[in-house]
Amino acid sequence: MRKFLVTFHKTLPDDTGHEHRVLQRQAVVSASSEVSASYEAKAMLCKAAGVADWRLRADTCEVVELALQMA
């Protein structure tokens, strides 16, 4: 299995009206593909936050494959 870093952000305005991306959660997921990693991380976020839809807590979901490290 490959490992992926899945990151969730929410875009929120500050008191001057400028928008900022705020990190909501990160997860390292073992999966066979980016799509599988995305589904797994979204399910984890929903369970941890107690919501039915991950978009209630985040606006974006980014998936990056982690490089293998040789020992």
Give buried/exposed letters for 13-24 (b at 16+ CB in 10 A, else e).
eeeeeeeeeeeb
Length of the chain: 71
Is the pLDDT assigned to residue 69 strictly greater than 80? Answer: no
Domains of the chain: 2-65 (3.10.20)
Taking only the tens place, the pLDDT of each residue in 36-67 is 999 999 999 999 999 999 999 999 999 999 98
What are φ and ψ of residue 45, in 5° steps? Answer: -65, -45
Distance CA 29, CA 21 (A): 22
The pLDDT of residue 26? 97
